[in-house]
Amino acid sequence: MTSIVDDDGPAAGPPPGAAPGPSTSGSPTPPAGIVVRGLRRSFGSVHALDGVDLQARAGAVTALVGPNGSGKTTLLLVLAGLLVPDSGDVRIGGFDPVADGRSARARTGWMPDTFGTWDSLTSREVLLTFAAAYRIPPAQARTRVDELLATVHLTEFADRPASVLSRGQKQRLGLARALVHSPDVLLLDEPASGLDPRSRVDLRLLLRRLADEGRTVLVSSHVLSELEEMADDAVFLSRGRTVSSSVDSSGPAPRTWHLRALALDAATAWLTSVGMTWRPDDDSLTPPRPVPGGVLLELDGDESAARLLRDAVAAGVPVLSFAPATGLLEQAYLALDEERT
Amino acid sequence: MTRTEPVGLDHPADPVDDAAPPPVGRAGTWGLTWHGVRTVAVLDLRQRVRSTRWIVALVVWFVVVGGITLLTTGALSEFGSADRSPNSGPILFAAVTALVLGLGLLVTPTLSSTAVNGDRNAGTLATLQVTLLTPAEIATGKLLAAWSAACAFLVTSLPFLVLALTMGGTPAQALVRVVLLVALLLLAVCGVGLGFSALVARTAGSTVLAFITVAAVTVLTPILFGLTYAATTTVEQVTVWGTQNGYGQVGSSDTCEVFTAERGLTHTERTWWLLGINPFVVVADGAGTAELAPGVEGNPLSVIRDGVRELRAGPAPMLDECWNGTSTPVEIRDDLRKDVSTAPVWPWGLGANLLLGVAGFVVAVRRLRIPQRNLARGTRVA
């Protein structure tokens, strides 16, 4: 009797919030997500992947970051079950894409960087074709496709040929295509390219929601600020190797901040008076004038940033904005680039 | 204690969650379901019908075949007005058959020779490969789509075959047999094109290779037969029925007798198969025209058939060189006549063509398997 009451308590509590998804469906199935160990793959003499280790958690968005030619696309092809790795171990939702390809593919949604469409087919037909290819019963497929078209805001283009779609709309259709069979694991190769700002926001919210439902989302992108807003984890890839697989945002790392003031000369005068070193944000050599402008500052840790802002405002500096000049991901990425060169 | 139970409630939900993805069988490379094949075939056909000038192509085809048919009819009635009734029907039927087969062989390679590499270049193949479709389903669907397109051309030419049939001299059964044989030969060509499209990265390359294969089977085989004709000719001791001193002249007084002499014999029984695999020979041999209408002479299809069957038999056991009118004794008549078998040639020819098609299909299926180990030079997977 009491157990029933107890049942209601925790069961009724979490659902209203969107968050419990991972905690309820993610935790009972430990091997979910993507696990990669010592992955190597070369094309002739080119080592596209040269020792990749990564883990993408279920219920989280993992960013895959790296310069051009660092092996991101090759890695995603291996994960999607299209390429045999030379060595290493891959598990997609607990399945090996080489040994048990069908089981892995049934759970994987892959969106390639270049999504070709059958230009003469309508968006609806494209999605229905893929639903059929994933063996979804027709009646179920129709509702699923309508749902997806609404999700990616292509309902009004549903019955027009894909050739009239813009690049961004095609990209959205490609995303819907990857989602058609409700995959547990999503592999997205540059999903944001070609998207307008509104669609980017939609994409971010959608990926967030999918992750909250307990799915594994692995996103590669060059738009680091985008990734930063949606990613929980990050994996850095350089020359076919995972360089680091986390962004250290906890410690007081030195970081560049951007300060904009209504009167730039007042701001620089105050900064100089408190002994801060600053540099103009536009590389101009003209001395600061009493016009709106910005400077860049090197600060170690959020603590000192907060202190600086408080002092500046207290000192009467007309501050317009004060924010980190670069995202954490970008900073980590650039640091990576420095290591490399 | 009671707290653990609600957590346990999640477990019954798990199997339901696992059942949500579509049931996945252990179907490997060669797994084949009608559902999967139809999905790919419908996809391919939709694209083809909408993105190409499909109706225009069929209309052009109809006009070309119709025009040549009518011109042939006109020519036949012009020249052969005297004996028009027995011959013009079969000749027209043979002409339309050859035309439809010839044009079919010309058009069909393009229908499947870009099926795989074209999709790969457009970036649509890999997205299809990662679904639960098996490689065999993708290949079969594409083959079916290409074959359906080829058959559309064949169906468009049906009225003219029927027209030739109504002119008499050709059994109705021949129409059915010709259409079936042409359809199967075009299926083989589709298979060859599909194989090359999976093998070669560039669409232009695969199309050229498919054309070369078709040309080799159709044009190169008779040429090779002609070129090897001399090579198969050997000088041998043979029994001859004729006059000893020189060839028996017409009206000469020498009497014909049986003797042994050296003569050059052409062993076409060693090379006849070069003609046998020719699609035109396959159709002519399989059309079954003459034995069903014995009164008709000069039927081109029957001439080709009988010619190839005679070449298959090789030289007769005894050479007939007696042209001076001596009546042939009964006891050697059988030796002079070649023992021409009536066993059909077309099953072998059709079999050889279909074997090429099957080889192409198998190559395509094997090349569609994922995950891929090797990549062709210059290709991207996606």
The answer to whether residue A273 is domain-embedded is: yes
Q: Are A191 and A280 members of one domain?
A: no
From A213, A244, A275, the end of a domain falls on A244
> By residue range, what is the domain housing residue B317?
233-336
Place of tokens 């790919």: B40
Task: State yes or no: pLDDT of B194 exceeds 50.
Answer: yes
The answer to whether residue B70 is domain-embedded is: yes
Range with the poorest average pLDDT among A73-77, A212-216, B215-219, B302-306: B302-306
Q: Are B218 and B307 members of one domain?
A: no
Peptide bond into B371 cis (omega under 30): yes
Cβ-nearest to B39 among A11, A132, A181: A132
DSSP assignment string, B333-372: HHHHS-------SHHHHHHHHHHHHHHHHHHHHHHT-SSB
Q: Are B191 and B268 members of one domain?
A: no
Distance, in angstroms, between B24 CA and closest chain A CA? Answer: 7
Q: How far is it, in rounded angstroms, from Cα B81 to Cα A149?
A: 69
Q: What mean pLDDT comes out for the span B225-237?
A: 89
Q: What mean pLDDT comes out for the span A70-91?
A: 90
Q: Which of A98-107, A110-119, B316-325 has the highest mean pLDDT?
A: A98-107
pTM value is 0.81
- Residue B9 is predicted with a pLDDT of 31
Q: Are A177 and A126 in contact (CB under 8 A)?
A: yes
User: In 3D, which of B184, B200, B194 has the Cα closest to residue B140?
Assistant: B194
Pairing mode of beta strands B233-242, B257-266: antiparallel
Task: State yes or no: pLDDT of B362 exceeds 50.
Answer: yes
Task: State yes or no: pLDDT of B334 exceeds 90.
Answer: no
Q: Are B109 and B256 members of one domain?
A: no
Q: Report residue A88's pLDDT band, with 50, 70 and 90 as the boundaries.
A: very high
The answer to whether residue A21 is domain-embedded is: no
Number of domain units in chain A: 2
Q: Across the interface, do A133 and B3 touch by the CB < 8 Å criterion?
A: no
Region at A321 (left for phi over 0; alpha for psi -120 to 50; beta for the rest): beta
Q: Are B71 and B142 members of one domain?
A: yes
Range with the poorest average pLDDT among A29-43, B3-17, B23-37, B197-211: B3-17
Task: State yes or no: pLDDT of A31 exceeds 70.
Answer: no
Q: What is the DSSP letter of A192?
A: T
Q: Are B46 and B173 members of one domain?
A: yes
User: In 3D, which of A145, A137, A83, A150 has the Cα closest to residue A110?
Assistant: A83
From A215, A244, A273, the end of a domain falls on A244
Q: Are B77 and B97 members of one domain?
A: yes
Cβ neighbours of residue B173 under 8 Å, at least 6 residues apart?
Answer: B288, B292
- Residue A230 is predicted with a pLDDT of 81
Task: State yes or no: pLDDT of B94 exceeds 70.
Answer: yes
Q: Which residue of B has its CA nearest to A99?
A: B371
> By residue range, what is the domain housing residue A198?
34-244
Q: What mean pLDDT comes out for the span B295-318?
A: 81
From A179, A211, A244, the end of a domain falls on A244
Q: What mean pLDDT comes out for the span A59-87?
A: 89
Task: State yes or no: pLDDT of A86 exceeds 80.
Answer: yes
Q: Are B208 and B278 members of one domain?
A: no
Q: What mean pLDDT comes out for the span B3-14?
A: 34
Q: Are B355 and B258 members of one domain?
A: no
Output the domain CATH number for residue A288. Answer: 3.30.70
- Residue B79 is predicted with a pLDDT of 63
Range with the poorest average pLDDT among A64-73, B202-211, B371-380: B371-380
Pairing mode of beta strands A185-189, A216-220: parallel
The answer to whether residue B373 is domain-embedded is: no
Q: Report residue B15's pLDDT band, with 50, 70 and 90 as the boundaries.
A: very low
Q: Are A151 and A220 members of one domain?
A: yes
Q: Are B184 and B256 members of one domain?
A: no
From B296, B315, B336, the end of a domain falls on B336
Which residues, numbered 36 to 55 in chain B, qualify as contacts with chain A under a Cβ-Cβ cut-off of 8 Å? 36, 39-40, 42-43, 46-47, 50-51
Q: How far is it, in rounded angstroms, from Cα A289 to Cα A266?
A: 8
Task: State yes or no: pLDDT of B115 exceeds 50.
Answer: yes
Q: Pick the residue of B127, B142, B374, B381 with the most A CBs within 10 A to test the interface with A by mutation.
A: B127
Q: Report chain B residues whose CB lies below 8 A from the CB of A136.
A: 22
Q: Are B64 and B192 members of one domain?
A: yes
- Residue A18 is predicted with a pLDDT of 36
Task: State yes or no: pLDDT of A314 exceeds 80.
Answer: yes
Q: What mean pLDDT comes out for the span B270-293?
A: 84
Q: Across the interface, do B130 and A81 touch by the CB < 8 Å criterion?
A: yes
Q: Is the dihedral of CA B286, B288, B291, B296 positive or negative?
A: negative
Q: How far is it, in rounded angstroms, from Cα B336 to Cα B317?
A: 7
**Sheet of strand B233-242: strand arrangement:** B257-266, B233-242, B318-320
- Residue B63 is predicted with a pLDDT of 95
Instruction: Tell me the HSE value of B195 on the side-chain side, using a 13 A CA sphere.
Output: 20
Q: Are B42 and B117 members of one domain?
A: yes
Number of domain units in chain B: 2
The answer to whether residue A297 is domain-embedded is: yes
